[in-house]
């Protein structure tokens, strides 16, 4: 079985409060995008266990990997010894605020459930996903969605515009737990516009820009630069960063903008032109 594990962007991200359980109460609108990882999941009756491989040598291949943890939780749920082979081909960068690990975990749960006859009900699959990470339940919905609670309350949205986007990411990563810890005491930087931006009936805002920009001034500069470009309708950090995304106006040349950003901001910027999806493709064949 071949599966596409899409990345996501946060169109809006509000932190409401720190909860008694240590998590944060959030309200976010997320959408899948056309960038994604690829997974192959196959039954392997010749040998027991979870045989996991990836083309990314920087990822852990053992029990610390979210794909392996997702597979373990699934087989524990159906009370069977695992006999499966999983291959992951990475295209979503790490520490980018694009949800790559969470998407891989959700796709693993969905794929294994299909492979085993849909034996786990959707509500129970959501519980398994929430135990793996706050963003994982969103990817089970395979559509744009409003997510609340700590992310586990997922409300699929009506069709959203399929925006053209440019993703830009510097070489450094941002730790999501660190960004949340800094949120309460963070301050806005002078001269940086954090106000909500409106385009195509959408509102773009992100409460985590405040703590992340305090440490990573380059991201604040990148957002300001993007908003000054004539082909950019809005620019925002996705999740906890370090990816910034630009919403492009009609007929904008994403590749030309990406090349200009590398020339004027940082020649080592990772640049990727994508489309915002309303729904995400799932398995592409068995």
Q: Report CA Rg, the chain.
A: 19
In a 3-state reduction of DSSP, which class is residue 181? helix
Cβ-contact 5, 139 below 8 angstroms = yes
HEC string of 112-134? Answer: HHHHCCCCCCHHHHHHHHHHHCC
Q: Distance between CA atoms of 199 and 216, rounded to whole angstroms?
A: 26
pLDDT, mean of residues 116-127:
96
Q: Distance between CA atoms of 239 and 243, rounded to whole angstroms?
A: 8
- CA-CA distances (angstroms) from residue 62 to 65, 72, 118, 153? 6, 11, 26, 29
At 191-220, the pLDDT tens digits run 999 999 999 889 999 999 999 999 999 999
- How sure is the predictor about 282, in pLDDT bands with cuts at 50, 70 and 90? low
For residue 30, what is the enclosing H or E element? strand 24-43
The answer as to CATH 3.30.230.10 being correct for domain 2-157 is yes
Cβ-contact 276, 167 below 8 angstroms = no
Cβ-contact 53, 61 below 8 angstroms = yes
Place of tokens 């990822």: 59
In a 3-state reduction of DSSP, which class is residue 190? coil
Report the interhelical angle of 122-132 vs 66-78 (nearest 10°): 140
Instruction: List strand residue ranges (DSSP E) for 224-269, in order.
Output: 232-237, 244-248
Cβ-contact 141, 24 below 8 angstroms = no
Query: Strand 164-169 vs strand 270-275: parallel, antiparallel, or unpaired?
Result: antiparallel
Predicted TM-score (pTM) above 0.85:
yes
* CATH code linked to domain 164-275: 3.30.70.890
At 29-39, the pLDDT tens digits run 999 999 999 99
How many DSSP H helices and E strands does the chain contain? 8, 13
- Is 281 a residue whose pLDDT tops 60? no
For residue 14, what is the enclosing H or E element? strand 2-18
Q: Which residues are catalytic?
A: 8, 135
**For the chain, what is the mean pLDDT?**
93
pLDDT, mean of residues 73-98:
96
At 242-259, the pLDDT tens digits run 999 999 999 999 999 999
Q: Distance between CA atoms of 1 and 26, rounded to whole angstroms?
A: 34
Burial class (CB in 10 A: 0-12, 13-18, 19+), 81: exposed
The values of phi and psi at residue 138, to 5°, are: -55, -45
Query: What residue segments make up the domains of the chain, in order of their start?
Result: 2-157, 164-275
* β-sheet with 164-169: strand ranges across: 232-237, 244-248, 164-169, 270-275
């Amino acid at each position: 079985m071949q599966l596409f594990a899409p990345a996501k962007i946060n169109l809006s991200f509000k932190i409401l409060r720190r909860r008694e359980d240590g998590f944060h109460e959030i309200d976010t609108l997320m959408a899948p995008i056309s960038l994604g990882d690829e997974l192959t999941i196959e039954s392997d009756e010749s040998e027991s266990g979870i045989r996991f491989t990836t083309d990314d040598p920087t990822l852990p291949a053992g029990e610390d990997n979210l794909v392996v943890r997702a597979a373990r939780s699934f087989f524990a749920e159906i009370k069977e010894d695992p006999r499966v082979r999983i291959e992951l081909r990475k295209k979503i960068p790490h520490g980018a605020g694009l949800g790559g690990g969470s998407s891989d975990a959700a796709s693993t749960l969905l794929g294994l459930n299909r492979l085993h006859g849909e034996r786990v009900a959707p509500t129970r699959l959501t519980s398994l996903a929430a135990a793996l990470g706050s963003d994982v339940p969103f990817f089970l919905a395979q559509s744009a969605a409003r997510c609340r609670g700590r992310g586990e309350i997922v409300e699929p949205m009506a069709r959203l515009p399929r925006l053209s986007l440019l993703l830009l990411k510097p070489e450094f990563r941002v730790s999501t737990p660190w960004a949340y810890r800094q949120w309460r005491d963070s301050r806005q930087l002078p001269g940086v516009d954090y106000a909500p931006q409106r385009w195509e009936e959408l509102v773009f805002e992100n409460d985590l820009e405040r703590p992340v920009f305090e440490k990573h001034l380059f991201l604040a500069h990148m957002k300001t630069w993007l908003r000054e470009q004539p082909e950019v309708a809005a620019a925002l950090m996705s999740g906890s960063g370090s990816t910034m995304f630009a919403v492009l106006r009609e007929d904008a040349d994403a590749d030309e903008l990406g090349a200009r950003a590398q020339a004027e901001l940082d020649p080592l910027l990772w640049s990727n032109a994508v489309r915002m999806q309303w729904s995400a493709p799932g398995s592409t064949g068995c």
